[in-house]
Amino acid sequence: MKHYFDWAATALPDESVLQVCSSTALEFPGNPSSSHRPGMEAAKRLEQLRSLCSGYIGCEPPQLVFTSGGSESNGIVISSLVWRKGRGSVILPGIEHPSLREYRAWLQELGFTVVTIDAPWGLIRTADLAAALRDDTVAVCFNAVHNVSGAVQPVHELTAAVRKHEARTGRTVHIHVDAVQALGKIPFRVCDYDIDSASFSAHKLSGPRGTGALYVRRPIEPTSRGGEQEQGLRPGTENLPGIAGFHEALSRCVPDVADRRSRAEGLKRLLLEKLSGSREIELLQDPDRMDDYSPYIVLISAAPVPSEVLLRVLSDRGFFLSAGSACSSQTAKKREHVLTSMGFSSTIASGALRISFGGTTTEAEVLALARELAEQTAMLRSMLKPS
């Protein structure tokens, strides 16, 4: 892997984490549901890991359900809503990850009203959320750290507004937070927040793919039947090797999250400083509120150069980034929708690029990226400029 800048999509694997997965698989071969010794040993190890992981996540062990990752965790919460007797409105910011946003039509079909709120520069405004709350609001869902813009949402203020509304109406509102881009990257413990559920994913922290967790403050209605595992929320034989890898990744990221964050801040500062000279590259993060963004994510636009063209050129030169949006495919249109919800024009959105850092990103790589970005953007701009 030459120069990887797509850590927000997935982190590069960590060999020692994979070794833990492998050794756990060999050491605990039994099914945790079996009543023989290997089964019971596996069950015991599973509960140990649950206890250890919940320590890092900041909740009680019974509140932590192991899942296949962030998208599934989000889906479990939303799906459990529809099992409730009543209907009502659900608030989903327009910038949300598809694993939340794509439930809109489904919820509407099932009789819910879905209220969308915009988030200028990716930042959800408490006043906008407060204005969107209605007497029949049953749930509010948002990202703690926005996966595209890197915006760190004011979770305390947002939840306070919801609870104030609850007190006034006397009706409870479920607050669900997708914390996939927060866990292990910025300090985030669920016990610090007044939230009802939260989603986590292991592979964003160099843990194994297909593993993640859902925090539920109080039990929620299971959506499947026929398996008792994970409180019935995620039936099926538990992925013990994956969970062990998840724990290993947490143990590497969470304790020194502050050091890692300041390292990422340094890399981001360096990149922004180097890009600030370029007239062709526009920063899509609010320059007046840079502290409100994850240090791991930088969102820029090279419009009118389409992001997919710049990505292609950079990829061929060994720099791997992600598009904030793209030319014309259906998926790209959905992504573009995220950018327009942030207040950007479709032209700016079509040139958006997301750069994300991780544990092995170096200053030298960031410098090389800044140079390539400026050079290739200028080259493409000159191609597209009428001479």
**Residue from 30, 304, 343, 359 binding another protein (CB under 8 A):** 304
Which of 114/309 has CB closer to another protein?
309
CA dihedral sign of residues 7, 151, 295, 309: positive
Tell me the C-alpha distance between 120 and 153, whole Å. 12
Q: What are the CA-CA distances from residue 327 to residues 5, 164, 182, 302, 335 (Å)?
A: 21, 43, 29, 13, 10
Region near another protein per CB under 8 A, out of 9-17, 224-232, 268-276, 325-333: 325-333
Burial 194-232 (b: 16+ CB within 10 A, else e): ebbbbbbbbbbbbbbebbbbbbbbeebebbeeeeebbbb
Interface with another protein, residue 309, by CB under 8 A: yes
Interface with another protein, residue 308, by CB under 8 A: yes
At 237, phi and psi to the nearest 5? Answer: -60, 130
Interface with another protein, residue 383, by CB under 8 A: yes
**Residue from 237, 328, 345, 360 binding another protein (CB under 8 A):** 328
Interface with another protein, residue 306, by CB under 8 A: yes
Tell me the C-alpha distance between 32 and 44, whole Å. 8
Interface with another protein, residue 312, by CB under 8 A: yes
Least Å distance, CB 312 to another protein, is 5
Region near another protein per CB under 8 A, out of 70-78, 99-107, 224-232, 377-385: 377-385
> Of 53, 59, 141, 327, which is the active-site residue?
327
Tell me the C-alpha distance between 327 and 349, whole Å. 10
Interface with another protein, residue 378, by CB under 8 A: no
Least Å distance, CB 372 to another protein, is 13
Verify whether residue 21 is a known catalytic residue: no
Least Å distance, CB 183 to another protein, is 32
Interface with another protein, residue 384, by CB under 8 A: yes
Q: Where are the beta strands (DSSP E) in the chain?
A: 3-4, 64-67, 89-93, 113-117, 137-143, 174-178, 197-201, 212-216, 282-283, 297-301, 319-320, 322-323, 352-356
**Residue from 313, 337, 343, 359 binding another protein (CB under 8 A):** 313
Lay out the site mask for another protein across 116-145 (x = CB under 8 A, - = otherwise): ------------------------------
- What amino acid occupies position 48? Q
- The DSSP code for 194 is -
Tell me the C-alpha distance between 69 and 274, whole Å. 35
Nearest to 64 by CA among 212, 252, 256, 257: 212
Tell me the C-alpha distance between 317 and 336, whole Å. 25
**Residue from 91, 117, 119, 380 binding another protein (CB under 8 A):** 380
Region near another protein per CB under 8 A, out of 66-74, 237-245, 364-372, 376-384: 376-384
Q: Which two tokens stand for residue 259?
A: 């050091």
Which of 225/385 has CB closer to another protein?
385
Least Å distance, CB 28 to another protein, is 42
**Residue from 329, 333, 362, 374 binding another protein (CB under 8 A):** 329
Lay out the site mask for another protein across 220-249 (x = CB under 8 A, - = otherwise): ------------------------------
Query: How large is the angle between the packed helices 240-253 and 15-27, nearest 10 degrees?
Result: 140
Least Å distance, CB 306 to another protein, is 6
Which of 194/372 has CB closer to another protein?
372
Are 176 and 214 spatial neighbours (Cβ–Cβ below 8 Å)? no
Residue 236 neighbours by CB distance under 10 Å: 11
Tell me the C-alpha distance between 113 and 292, whole Å. 30
**Residue from 259, 291, 316, 364 binding another protein (CB under 8 A):** 316
Which of 245/306 has CB closer to another protein?
306
Q: Which two tokens stand for residue 313?
A: 């050129």
Interface with another protein, residue 85, by CB under 8 A: no
Interface with another protein, residue 317, by CB under 8 A: no
* Interface contacts to another protein, rule CB under 8 A: 304-306, 308-309, 312-313, 316, 327-331, 350, 380, 383-387
* Catalytic residue IDs: 327
